[in-house]
Amino acid sequence: MMLSGDESKALVQQHILDEIEDGADVEGMHINSMIWEGCEIVGGDFLECIFEQVVFRNCQFSECSFSECIFVNCIWEQCELTEVEFDVSRLKHCQYKATQFQDIGFNACTLQDIIYQDCNIDTMDFNDCQRFSVKAINCHLETSSIICLSDEDKAAFPTHPFQEVEDPFHQFETEGCCSRHLVLFKYDFNQWVNKNCQHKNIIALWSEAANYDFSHMDLTMSQFTESNLAGANFTKAKVDQCSFIGCNLNGTNFTSASLNYALLLKAKIAKSSFKWAQMVGANLSESSALQSDFSETNMEFSNMSGGQFINCNFQKAMMKYTDFSYADISLADFRQVSFYYSRHQSVVDNQTRYSSKVGVLDEDKQQVKADLWLQS
């Protein structure tokens, strides 16, 4: 039987709030079938407590910590949590509804079947949570992170109490959400389900997203530095100003995508499709794009210098002010391409096909000497 609001409030005041006000920790309590309503808890430290079927309604928690605590079938409704840390704790079948979060940390925790609905989340970090099953519905997420550490990462910090579990998982589902500055470190995107979401400025470092479906998504200003995106689908996605530096993009589909001012430096993009894409100001310098399709692509102001574009298809592409200097474009097809002030300085173009080279600048021998001097 769940206690009424008045009964719960009296017990919380006597056994918890009074203890906290006296500077004591709340330790070893088992709280079951209770409603906490309208409570304001500041500076509370909870240690080895169990919360079972507890409803937190219109409560405020600030500067609190929950260490080695267990939450089962708990509900937070219209609460506010500010500067709250959960350390080595377990949460199972819990729900957060219309709750505000700011500066929240889950460190080495287990989160199983957790639902956030209609929540506003500002800076929530999941650090080394090896068992992680979270769903966010109609939430706004700002500057939050999921940090997945490998055994090598943990070995660098031998004194830190990292979580050791068998068969770790990081299942994340977002539906109708809007996020900015979401940091994913060594995350496997194949454990992330997206439905009708807008994610701007994702920062995914050394992550795994092979064959992942990013089609139609707005990923403006995101970073995928040195991640594996081989075979991923970016059809009609918006990846303007995104960084793919050093990524594996082999076999990736960017058909009709928007990659304006995107960075693909030193990326592997062999056998990929950029057909009908917008790539104004994109930087593909020193990338390897063998047998890729850039036909009918807008590549105005794009930089391909020093790259490998052997046997690529550029038919009917728009190439105003493009730069292919020192690139290998052997066997590439530039038929029906519109060149205008395009630089092909010292390119390798064995058996390259052109309809016309009108608009390609003559080689600047003085510039070649200057470049060689800078490289020496």
Q: How many domains does the chain have?
A: 3
Q: What is the pLDDT of residue 170?
A: 86
The residue assigned the tokens 């509804």 is: 97
- Considering the domain architecture, whether residues 219 and 274 belong to the same structural domain is answered as yes
Q: Which of 61, 83, 105 is the last residue of a domain?
A: 83
Amino acid of residue 82: T
Residues 3 and 149 in one domain: no
Residue that finishes a domain, picked among 56, 83, 110: 83
Q: Which of helix, strand or coil describes residue 155?
A: helix
Q: Which residues pair with 268 in a beta bridge?
A: 248, 288
Write out the residue range of the structural domain in which residue 50 sits: 1-83
Q: Are residues 268 and 223 in the same domain?
A: yes
Low-confidence ranges of the chain (pLDDT < 50): 1-4, 153-162, 165
The DSSP call for residue 372 is H
How many CA atoms does the CB half-sphere of 285 hold within 13 Å? 11
Q: Which residues is 41 bridged to in the sheet?
A: 61
pTM above threshold 0.75? yes
- The reply to whether 139 and 54 lie within a common domain is no
Residue 361 DSSP one-character state: P
What is d(CA 279, CA 259) in angstroms, rounded to the nearest whole number? 5
What confidence tens digit (pLDDT) does each residue in 43-86 have?
999 999 999 999 999 999 999 999 999 999 999 999 999 999 99
Domain end call among 67, 83, 99: 83
Note whether residue 197 is domain-resident.
no
Same domain, 35 and 140: no
For residue 264, being part of any structural domain is answered with: yes
Residues 227 and 205 sit within 8 Å (Cβ to Cβ) = yes
**Integer Cα distance of 88 and 153 in angstroms:** 18
Containing H/E element for 188? none
pLDDT value of residue 162: 43
10 and 75 together in one domain? yes
